[in-house]
Homo-oligomer: A and B are copies of this chain.
Amino acid sequence: MEKKEPIKITIYDVAKAAGVSKSTVSRYLSGRFHELSENTKRKIQEVIEQLNYKPNHMARGLKGNKSFLIGAIVADITNPYTTAILRGAEDVCKENGYALLICNTDNNPQKEKEYISMLQAHRIDGLIIQTTGGTNPFLEELFNDGNTPIVLVDRKVPELSFDLVGIDNQQATYKAVSYLQSQHYERIAWFTEPVTDISVRKERFHAFQEALKLTDVHHPSLEDIYVADLKKDDELEMCLENFLGKTQSQSRAIFCANSVILLKVILALQSKGMRVPEDVALIGFDNPEWASAVYSGITTIEQPTSEIGKSCAELIIKRINGTPMLPQTLSYHASLIKRGSTPSVKKHFHKEE
């Protein structure tokens, strides 16, 4: 079995068939129709159609120093929050003739670094990245030497003055805490994955503590902080036991720092036979599609994911086009979606009586 050679139609073939020169065809391809006679224009059009010619992006890119490729490096392509953003970005990219190279880092800086390098080799025209925070020098180099525009999504890198698109995590966290307090929850546990260098986790964590202090500088829940590495089997369970053991059931809530840990908490609660909201209330960041289907709905903080994705792509494309703009941060407001998992404690008592 021999390896068949692909049929390669080049601009030269088109030129030949249309009885013109490469340059003329190139003019057509670049849409400079005013430099063409109506006749040749039509002829070229026909030939392209008939030969099914597709311009070669690699050749074009080599010459013009442009790949029509935009990189998207994300932590977890499996996370619905991430895909919602990608979906928004993808739409905008497509409209503008760019294709999206999607890279999954698993929150591993090493992988992130490798991908940055790979994307550099592909000469991407721009990069959208949800960074681990552990590859700053490489991003800087890509940005400075390669002059490749970079937009950070979701996660900041304070040291770098790149564009950023995300939400106001402090505002969102405050809103949720103050809502819980208005529902009369006295103990609010903070459940998070290891904070590390990930800015979102830091911001939310910090905001949570600040929000509590606003009420009481010695708020008991300042002790109700639980960090669980979800890769380790029983860490989360231990945290849960700890919190549930030391609080009483009437006015306690668990606040999950993202939807991944939220789901794990739900599963762990179920395996313990704990009811929501009867035994413990629940609130979480992100608003996965299933949040309304579990229990009588789970109260969540919703981010405008599609808008975030679109804005990333729009920003990157503007930068690619050389639009002069100062580095900017685009911070959307998140909204609180109130559902059954966080009833008013008083009402709740009432209902049970």
Mark A residues whose CB is within 8 Å of B. Answer: 1, 3-8, 52, 54-59, 61-62, 65, 67-69, 77-78, 80, 83-84, 86-87, 90-91, 94, 97, 99-104, 111, 114-115, 117-123, 141, 145-148, 263, 266-267, 270, 288-290, 292-294, 322, 324
Assess A90 versus B117: contact at CB under 8 Å? Given A122-B57, A123-B56, A289-B263. Answer: no
Nearest CB of B to A343, in Å: 17
B103-A90 in contact (CB<8A): yes
A121 CB contacts on chain B under 8 angstroms: 54-57
For A326, the closest partner residue in chain B by CB is B1
A-B contacts, 10 listed (Cβ < 8 Å): A7-B145, A7-B147, A58-B58, A77-B87, A78-B84, A91-B104, A100-B101, A100-B102, A100-B103, A290-B294
Nearest CB of B to A240, in Å: 15
Chain A interface, DSSP helix/strand/loop, else mixed? mixed
B52-A62 in contact (CB<8A): no
For A141, the closest partner residue in chain B by CB is B52
Question: How far, in whole Å, are A187 and B280 apart by their CA atoms in the complex?
Answer: 38
A145-B103 in contact (CB<8A): no
A288 CB contacts on chain B under 8 angstroms: 290
For A289, the closest partner residue in chain B by CB is B263
A147-B5 in contact (CB<8A): yes
A102 CB contacts on chain B under 8 angstroms: 86, 90, 100-102
Question: How far, in whole Å, are A119 and B1 apart by their CA atoms in the complex?
Answer: 27
Question: How far, in whole Å, are A117 and B97 apart by their CA atoms in the complex?
Answer: 11
B294-A267 in contact (CB<8A): no
* Most chain B beta-carbon contacts within 10 A, residue among A145, A263, A270: A145
A6-B145 in contact (CB<8A): yes
For A144, the closest partner residue in chain B by CB is B7
A147 CB contacts on chain B under 8 angstroms: 4-7
A123 CB contacts on chain B under 8 angstroms: 56-58
Question: How far, in whole Å, are A80 and B289 apart by their CA atoms in the complex?
Answer: 11
B145-A52 in contact (CB<8A): yes
Question: How far, in whole Å, are A43 and B102 apart by their CA atoms in the complex?
Answer: 35
With A69-B101, A263-B293, A270-B292 given, name 14 new contacts (CB 8 A): A7-B145, A7-B146, A56-B62, A57-B121, A57-B122, A58-B122, A58-B123, A62-B62, A77-B86, A78-B80, A78-B83, A94-B114, A99-B122, A100-B103
Nearest CB of B to A268, in Å: 10
Question: How far, in whole Å, are A30 and B57 apart by their CA atoms in the complex?
Answer: 23
Selected contact of A292 from candidates B8, B87, B267, CB within 8 Å: B267
Question: How far, in whole Å, are A118 and B55 apart by their CA atoms in the complex?
Answer: 10
For A292, the closest partner residue in chain B by CB is B267
